[in-house]
Structure 1
């Protein structure tokens, strides 16, 4: 009897538990009292399972947007280069000797032909005087021989001998003068001399470096570009040159030469441009940044790169139309400074989404927010 009562008790507890589970399941899936139902096409309740746009609860998603604007697009190429002197030379003596005088100051500007360094020329001057004296004697002998030949007192051979002797002495004078000139080192062009490491009285050997001379009124800009730009390069094109040493200043250069040989190792083209440096702000050997402008386009549609959503078929953006996100496939062009050229798919004035695209789908309700709204939301 007791065993039967226990079984009935267990069955009763099980039935009560099943009823409780059924009740909680019913109340959990039931719409709360007073909740508004979505009206259907005929004004009744929406059919079960009907799609609801947007996030749960129908709230619009916050996104960042911008307006598409037409602007100017510059088609250019950038590179790094080095500055070189228009003319550069290191003065070296052709003969050995002792320095007699130095006629310049370190870092000073000199004119073409100016005497910079003079070597001791006592021996060369004496040789030149000797050659000139011999030349004067040869000229006198030749003049007398001409007079005697005219009176038929000497033969034609005698006249030829004196004439040859005269030419020999003339050559001797020219040779002595050349030796004397080699003791005078003059500026081959106008420029600025460097810092010397010699002094008066030093004995220098043949080919020893004395001082450098640089023409920096005009500078050469040497740089390289990939071979893909070869078809767009033309002598005479304008360049913009800037240096980290002079921030904010841009100098204009002109493309002068294109190397006919493409470097096989880097597939690059060597280029040289000329740059006016009248104020001497730039110096040879400086590192510079070069910008070569090929074309300027106007009324080009540019959008931020982050607005573009990649896709296997074609990239697209989300346009904001009447508070909803509309998917718009686009055709892109050049990319410049984190912006993309839109060739087809948008027009000026369209509002597009730049942040928050990952949570969107076509037709989803959206709400544009700015940095101020985001900051306020974060602070709250």
Structure 2
């Protein structure tokens, strides 16, 4: 009985081996089909090394208009937010007493002038002494000073714009009585904007007056405000180890207002750089990679060192030789040596990226991040 069972077991094992040999191996690994990718050229273009900073906008000229003499507001000649010219009358104070003081001072000056003239005639005839004429001259000079002071006091009842600009909110109303130093409104020249910002001292040797500056503000996402460095401070801040720079920016349409936060980009130097599209970059931790395609249609991964940026392109400072084509789409799951199938796609690059590879009539240098 035992021999029969052993024979059956051997027969079953033999049948199973035959079946295993005849059935195809469905679990055998299959070769992965080529991955469809899009490529774009790497290009050489001019870049600016740059440093970025932040600052607060202020008007190139800005004042708070104050009452210089006490008085009652008789008339206001401006509207809030109005553009005014230099010397334009803004506020008129009641000046009746000031006019009366000026008339009195004018009369005293005329009398002193007449006394001095008569004194000169009498001294020529030896009717009075020279010392008496000197007294008349002193009285005349005092009367002239009083008249000039009265005239200045009258003028101070007329508050005028010291320069062309935009007036702010009105702080007074007609009929209000103002004391000396009371605020009336603000006046800002918004044709140009100034921004002070801090630059690390390591850039000190590359900073000069006249360097180009671009500024932006999130309130105007599609606008850049251009200008240049106008002044550099004479001292480096010992705490922050930075130098204060002042830039003067154009302000078309008076869009930027004093007090706004500005992002500043200072262009330091121009150079030629190798650029690839931003979407070609894959970053894993601290390392960045790009993929090229070799002659066997296989993806090759290149560790690269990144540099500046311009119009949707990134500078490759190290890791690529020549100007190879770079994979820009379909590379997120690629491995080095994997087969690829290049698909021609004119829309693989964004419109702003295609500007740099289109044949330009004149190449205009862009910006780069230091």
TM-score of the superposition, structure 2-length normalised?
0.74
**Higher mean C-alpha deviation, range 94-103 or range 352-361:** 352-361
Q: 1:128 to 1:78 in 2, by over 3 A?
A: same
Counterpart of 2:37 (choices 64, 71, 77) is 64
Cα deviations by residue, 1:19-38 (Å, 9 ceiling, x for unpaired): 6447646764x5878x9xxx
**Higher mean C-alpha deviation, range 262-271 or range 104-113:** 262-271
TM-score of the superposition, structure 1-length normalised?
0.73
Counterpart of 2:115 (choices 129, 141, 159) is 141
Q: 1:92 to 1:309 in 2, by over 3 A?
A: closer
Return the alpha-carbon distance in structure 1 between the equivalents of residues 254 and 225 of structure 2.
12
- 2:213 is aligned to 239
Return the alpha-carbon distance in structure 2 between the equivalents of residues 228 and 31 of structure 1.
76
> Between Structure 1 and Structure 2, how many residues are aligned?
340
Return the alpha-carbon distance in structure 2 between the equivalents of residues 303 and 250 of structure 1.
23
Q: 1:367 to 1:122 in 2, by over 3 A?
A: closer
- 1:182 is aligned to 156
Tell me by how many angstroms 1:348 deviates.
1.9
SS at match of 1:171: helix
SS at match of 2:254: coil
- 1:51 is aligned to none
- 1:101 is aligned to 75
Q: Is the 8 A contact 2:282 2:332 kept in 1?
A: no
Residues 1:116 and 2:90 aligned together: yes
**Higher mean C-alpha deviation, range 61-70 or range 108-117:** 61-70
Return the alpha-carbon distance in structure 2 between the equivalents of residues 269 and 310 of structure 1.
35
Tell me by how many angstroms 1:366 deviates.
0.7
Q: Is the 8 A contact 1:332 1:344 kept in 2?
A: yes
Q: 1:22 to 1:196 in 2, by over 3 A?
A: same
Return the alpha-carbon distance in structure 1 between the equivalents of residues 191 and 88 of structure 2.
18
Tell me by how many angstroms 1:339 deviates.
3.3
**Higher mean C-alpha deviation, range 72-81 or range 213-222:** 72-81
User: Residues 46-61 of structure 1: matches in 2 within 5 Å?
Assistant: 56-61=29-34
SS at match of 1:94: coil
Greater Rg over alpha carbons, structure: 1
What value does the CA root-mean-square deviation take over the aligned residues?
Answer: 3.8
- 1:375 is aligned to none
Tell me by how many angstroms 1:65 deviates.
5.2
Q: Is the 8 A contact 2:119 2:128 kept in 1?
A: yes
